[in-house]
Structure 1
Amino acid sequence: MTNLQILITIMIIALITLLTRALPFLFFPEGKKTPEFVTYLGGVLPYAAIAMLVAYCFKSVSLSDGSHGIPEFLAAAFVLGIHKWKHNMLLSIGGGTVLYMFLVQMVFR
């Protein structure tokens, strides 16, 4: 890419990023009631996104090969347990990641 193409690409990315930040304030001003559909989506989409991420993480786990999915399911159980106990998402995800990496690199080689 030439320098001009790089500059144009960066400017387009910056403009689109700015628009994604500003458009909600333009469509839903402070004094106006938010539509029920948007409120509904705001309530259900985070759970749907997490469910898709979990499904994506487990899509390639084979119960018949290798470690039989034991590290993945142990790490997932750890994440659920820690989150239920401490209600700290950073601790849950970080701890689960550390446990999973330990299991696949040290225990289930």
Structure 2
Amino acid sequence: MPDTPAAGYLLAAVAVAVAVTWALRALPFAALAPLRSSPLVAYLGAAMPVGVMVILAAYTLRHLTPRDPGAAWPTLLALAATVAVHLWRRNVLLSILGGTAVHVVLASAVFAS
């Protein structure tokens, strides 16, 4: 039968694991606390929603082929719906979710037929 580690050794190993886990979970909060008053973070908070929408639009349109209108129209209608919802409500999350829902419904209708 193999030798089992001493109880003190096991307790020390568990204590180290607890300390490392706690430190890794607390570190982001401690590092971000001074950044909350930063003007750069305030700017990024205001500018990033537009950046996210541009990245999502570019990602969606990267394989759009106008030569295949059957595959292009769901994407273009979803893009138009996203722009319309955003101009109407000025809510990035609602625009993204609405455009995604329109795209999923239209794309599933195209692929189902």
Sequence identity (%):
32
Which of the residues 14, 21, 45 maps onto 2:29? 21
How much has 1:19 moved relative to structure 2?
A: 2.6
**How big is the alpha-carbon RMSD for the aligned residues of Structure 1 and Structure 2?**
3.2
Larger radius of gyration: 2
SS at 2:70 equivalent: coil
How much has 1:84 moved relative to structure 2?
A: 1.6
Give the counterpart letter for 1:84 in structure 2.
Answer: L
Aligned to 1:59: 62
How much has 1:21 moved relative to structure 2?
A: 3.2
Aligned to 2:87: 84
Give the counterpart letter for 2:100 in structure 1.
Answer: T
Task: Give the number of the structure with larger relative contact order, counting CA–CA contacts within 8 Å between residues 6 or more apart.
Answer: 2
TM-score of the superposed pair, with normalisation by structure 1: 0.59
Q: Once the two structures are superposed, what CA deviation does each residue of 1:9-62 show, in whole Å capped at 9, x if it has no partner? A: xx77x82x543333121x347xxx63x545444443443233222211211222
Give the counterpart letter for 2:27 in structure 1.
Answer: L
Residue 70 of structure 2 contacts residue 110 of structure 2 at CA under 8 Å; is this kept in 1? no
Q: How many equivalent residue pairs?
A: 93
* Structure 2 gaps, min length 5: 1-16
The structure-2 alpha-carbon separation of the partners of 1:89 and 1:23, relative to structure 1 and needing over 3 Å to count, comes to same
Give the whole-Å Cα distance in 2 for the aligned partners of 1:24 and 1:93: 27
The structure-2 alpha-carbon separation of the partners of 1:62 and 1:78, relative to structure 1 and needing over 3 Å to count, comes to same
Give the whole-Å Cα distance in 2 for the aligned partners of 1:47 and 1:90: 11
Give the whole-Å Cα distance in 2 for the aligned partners of 1:43 and 1:87: 13
Residue 82 of structure 2 contacts residue 99 of structure 2 at CA under 8 Å; is this kept in 1? yes
Give the whole-Å Cα distance in 1 for the aligned partners of 2:48 and 2:94: 23
More helix by share: 2
